[in-house]
């Protein structure tokens, strides 16, 4: 069809809800993407932290094809083997106790909110939820209601009532919002979209203490920071706590649409038959893939690679920051890293894509977010740093002119 024709067709057909880059990707292999004209790109974007295993990972495609020849969908009114296999493996690596599979992270958040609301209603008629400023939990009405960025919410107000926003990593601001109407606290263990901010140990342990003391549901959103991205299977496992509800998605399916919310303790038996459901959630096609993804993580030591290469990438970015006057800070964990600049990063992302054939993403206007496939090597990091240096040099030269 040709790239221009394909872009023009999409612009005429699709609702204008994205400002897309003028590239049509055709296929991928490893950590490389290829457009319809055959150009190769270094991917440090991973479909927004989705392609944890990159593209065309050995053994993964075959599982999808094998299941496609057997059964795609059967409905949750019946059982299927892949959902049980994926569920068992997910509970084993998380330490949680029950799981409900969804189609996306946003749907997982919806399920978590429903647990919180019903639990609050059954324990004294409580209906208020404390969320965090700077958070991002999804685009549905429920998920938007607990997203702490007014820019995303303002066009759709009024949203769910009873939502209060505390300051991330400020335990006193959370304590100030707890009342006898509070039923839950929700936060990302590492804020991604909001600028790549990990929760401090003091803060998250303090949140858990507040939740236990006041009989609240603690919801940890691990949709982006989970599945090995921070160097633990789930980021909260770095702390001395355990959530009542955890949400996961993105890298769980390595590109197939799957999410889940997991429960433990008092959250296990809140939802009863008829309280929640999903037509496609937990279908055998996506669960077969998720099950294999979980196998690969274990068999191929993916998390160990995250620890090693993530530390190396962070060191290289810190070295770059020393020589670049535009960089304010490097932060994050594992392969979820943010580089904060003293200026907007839109031009850096654009130049990286067009001039250096490297795919990057932002986290707010001034932060470059690094969420590459978890299989990258130190050599790939060196390649990315070289490309980024050339981009920053051009940006600096442009600024001097």
Those residues with Cβ within 8 angstroms of residue 395's Cβ, 6 or more apart along the chain or in another chain: 326, 347, 348, 351
* Domain end among 260, 280, 299: 299
State the Cα–Cα distance between residues 186 and 165, nearest whole angstrom.
10
276 and 307 together in one domain? no
In-domain check, residue 63: no
pTM of the shown model: 0.97
* Domain end among 254, 270, 299: 299
Long-range pairs for 293-297 at CB < 8 Å and ≥24 separation?
Answer: 293/52, 293/53, 293/60, 293/251, 293/252, 293/253, 293/254, 294/86, 294/89, 294/90, 294/93, 295/89, 296/53, 296/57, 296/59, 296/60, 297/93, 297/227, 297/228, 297/233
270 and 322 together in one domain? no
Among residues 289, 297, 336, 337, the alpha carbon closest in space to that of 317 is found at 337
CATH number at residue 289: 3.40.640.10
Cβ neighbours of 159 (radius 10 Å): 15
Domain that holds residue 311: 3-58+301-400
Those residues with Cβ within 8 angstroms of residue 51's Cβ, 6 or more apart along the chain or in another chain: 28, 43, 251, 254, 255, 373
User: How many domains does the chain contain in total?
Assistant: 2
In-domain check, residue 170: yes
144 and 272 together in one domain? yes
348 and 277 together in one domain? no
State the Cα–Cα distance between residues 23 and 242, nearest whole angstrom.
42
154 and 274 together in one domain? yes
258 and 131 together in one domain? yes
* Domain end among 282, 299, 316: 299
78 and 135 together in one domain? yes
52 and 183 together in one domain? no
In-domain check, residue 154: yes
335 and 206 together in one domain? no
In-domain check, residue 65: no
CB–CB of 300/119 below 8 Å? no
Long-range pairs for 379-385 at CB < 8 Å and ≥24 separation?
Answer: 380/31, 380/42, 380/309, 381/309, 381/312, 381/313, 381/316, 382/316, 383/42, 384/42, 384/44, 384/313, 384/358, 385/316, 385/317, 385/320
State the Cα–Cα distance between residues 50 and 371, nearest whole angstrom.
9
Q: In which residue ranges of the chain is pLDDT below 50?
A: 401
186 and 157 together in one domain? yes
Cβ neighbours of 68 (radius 10 Å): 12
In-domain check, residue 66: no
SS3 164: strand
Tokens 């991917």 belong to which residue? 43
pLDDT at 399: 65
CATH number at residue 33: 3.90.1150.10
36 and 83 together in one domain? no
Among residues 282, 350, 355, the alpha carbon closest in space to that of 98 is found at 282
pLDDT at 2: 87
CB–CB of 382/316 below 8 Å? yes
104 and 88 together in one domain? yes
């Amino acid at each position: 069809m040709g790239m221009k024709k394909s872009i023009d067709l999409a612009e005429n057909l699709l609702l204008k809800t994205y400002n897309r880059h003028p590239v049509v990707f055709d296929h991928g292999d490893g950590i490389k993407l290829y457009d319809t004209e055959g150009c190769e790109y270094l991917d440090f974007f991973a479909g927004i932290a989705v392609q944890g295993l990159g593209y065309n990972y050995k053994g993964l495609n075959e599982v999808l094809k094998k299941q496609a020849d057997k059964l795609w969908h059967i409905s949750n009114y019946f059982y299927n083997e892949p959902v049980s296999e994926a569920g068992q493996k997910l509970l084993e690596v998380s330490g949680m106790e029950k799981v409900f599979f969804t189609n996306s992270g946003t749907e997982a958040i919806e399920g978590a909110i429903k647990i919180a609301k019903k639990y609050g209603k059954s324990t004294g008629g409580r209906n208020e939820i404390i969320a965090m400023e700077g958070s991002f939990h999804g685009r549905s009405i429920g998920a938007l209601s607990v997203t702490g960025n007014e820019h995303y919410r303002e066009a759709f107000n009024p949203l769910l009532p009873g939502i209060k926003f505390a300051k991330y990593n400020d335990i006193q601001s959370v304590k100030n919002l707890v009342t006898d109407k509070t039923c839950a606290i929700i936060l990302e263990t590492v804020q991604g979209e909001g600028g790549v901010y990990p929760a401090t140990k003091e803060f998250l342990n303090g949140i858990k203490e507040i939740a236990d003391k006041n009989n609240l549901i603690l919801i940890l959103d691990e949709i982006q920071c989970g599945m090995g991205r921070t160097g633990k299977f789930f980021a909260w496992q770095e702390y001395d706590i355990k959530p009542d509800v955890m949400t996961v998605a993105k890298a769980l399916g390595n590109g197939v649409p799957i999410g889940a919310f997991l429960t433990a303790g008092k959250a296990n038996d809140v939802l009863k038959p008829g309280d929640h459901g999903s037509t496609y959630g937990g279908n055998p096609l996506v669960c077969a893939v998720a099950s294999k993804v979980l196998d690969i993580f274990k068999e191929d030591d993916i998390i160990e690679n995250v620890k090693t290469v993530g530390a190396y990438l962070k060191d290289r970015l810190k070295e770059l920051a020393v020589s670049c006057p535009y960089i304010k800070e490097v932060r994050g964990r594992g392969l979820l890293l943010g580089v904060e600049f003293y200026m907007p990063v839109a031009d850096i992302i654009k130049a990286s894509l067009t001039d250096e054939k490297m795919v990057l993403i932002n986290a707010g206007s001034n932060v470059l977010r690094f969420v590459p496939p978890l299989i990258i090597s130190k050599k790939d990091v060196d390649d990315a740093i070289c490309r980024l240096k050339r981009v920053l040099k051009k940006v600096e030269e442009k600024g001097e002119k």
